[in-house]
């Protein structure tokens, strides 16, 4: 269902409020430059700082602006199963193509709890679910054996894997089946991830370099690893710079450098990237030919 370069969209704020015109313009720019899908209200989108109402509204705006040109995978994760269900129901009503859902964070459920959480989601809403495994943020890991069980639910279609463990691609391919949609959650590992059976990347860097990231994924889809490696070398410093300080500070600074209408404002507890990080972002933008 999904493949290629899909940005985990940053959310623009102005004076503390959602900057809807800047968000709509970002969406158009992403689609015009080859992004094959959109993820609003994920980690990069600062969903953890949003009210439930604001979260659901931003998903609706994204779907409306995309207008069927590309699919929208709505961030719907929560450590509260009822809240996650609510987000999924609202995303479905808005017209999203799927939900991106983390295992419950903070609560630290065991693997049985993870399975029960997702089972409840599939029973409450038939919107397709892309699992989001990012134990560095959630603490809770979706183990390969658990993912195999989850993949048996008819609406669980794949995973955004941000474990940083490429071995998992093969392990999950063996246990979840070749049709299970595996997307990289780490830009810097996307080349290797694709070679091992992945189909694309839910990307931070694509916020800043949508055309280059789309070209990179297109080269991989054609099996042109020489062209993909050239593009990867061009993008790698930017992948690294995106996490040179607490995310999404660096990426919002970077977007503002190439799109001045998109302010780099963050919501607490996030703070602007430090001088060293900004310097790394600037150098990476120059290396990629973006400024």
DSSP 4: E
Predicted pLDDT at 226:
97
Assess whether 160 carries a catalytic annotation: yes
Helix H segments across 20-129? 20-32, 52-66, 81-94, 111-124
- Which parts of the chain register pLDDT below 70? none
| Pair 99, 73: CB distance under 8 Å | yes
For the full predicted model, state whether its pTM sits above 0.85. yes
Predicted pLDDT at 1:
78
Rounded to whole angstroms, how far apart are CA atoms 211 and 203? 12
Predicted pLDDT at 223:
96
Of the chain, the end-to-end C-alpha distance in Å amounts to 34
Q: Which of 105, 106, 149, 160 is catalytic?
A: 160
Q: What is the pLDDT of residues 79-118, one digit of tens each?
A: 999 999 999 999 999 999 999 999 999 999 999 999 999 9
Instruction: Tell me the two tokens of residue 87.
Output: 């987000």
Predicted pLDDT at 228:
98
Q: Which of 132, 149, 252, 253 is catalytic?
A: 132
Assess whether 132 carries a catalytic annotation: yes
| Pair 13, 266: CB distance under 8 Å | yes
């Amino acid at each position: 269902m999904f493949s290629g370069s899909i940005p985990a969209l940053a959310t623009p704020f102005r004076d503390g409020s959602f900057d809807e015109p800047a968000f709509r313009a970002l969406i158009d720019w992403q689609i015009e430059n080859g992004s094959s899908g959109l993820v609003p209200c994920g980690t990069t989108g600062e969903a953890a700082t949003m009210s439930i109402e604001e979260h659901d509204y931003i998903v609706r705006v994204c779907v409306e602006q995309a207008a069927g040109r590309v699919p929208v995978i709505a961030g719907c994760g929560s450590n509260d199963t009822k809240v996650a269900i609510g987000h999924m129901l609202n995303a479905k009503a808005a017209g999203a193509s799927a939900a991106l859902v983390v295992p419950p964070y903070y609560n630290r459920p065991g693997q049985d709890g993870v399975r029960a959480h997702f089972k409840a989601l599939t029973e409450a809403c038939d919107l397709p679910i892309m699992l989001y495994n990012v134990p560095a943020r959630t603490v809770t890991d979706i183990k390969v054996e658990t993912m195999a069980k989850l993949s048996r639910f008819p609406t669980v279609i794949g995973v955004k894997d941000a474990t940083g463990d490429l071995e998992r691609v093969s392990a999950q391919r063996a246990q979840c089946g070749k049709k299970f949609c595996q997307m990289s959650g780490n830009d810097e590992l996307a080349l290797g991830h694709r070679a091992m059976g992945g189909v694309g990347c839910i990307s931070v860097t694509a916020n800043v370099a949508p055309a280059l990231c789309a070209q990179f994924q297109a080269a991989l889809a054609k099996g042109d690893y020489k062209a993909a490696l050239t593009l990867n070398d061009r993008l790698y410093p930017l992948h690294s710079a995106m996490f040179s300080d607490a995310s999404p500070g660096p990426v919002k600074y970077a977007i503002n450098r190439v799109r001045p209408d998109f302010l780099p404002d963050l919501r607490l507890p996030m703070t602007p990237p430090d001088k060293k990080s900004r310097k790394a972002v600037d150098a990476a933008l120059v290396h990629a030919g973006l400024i």
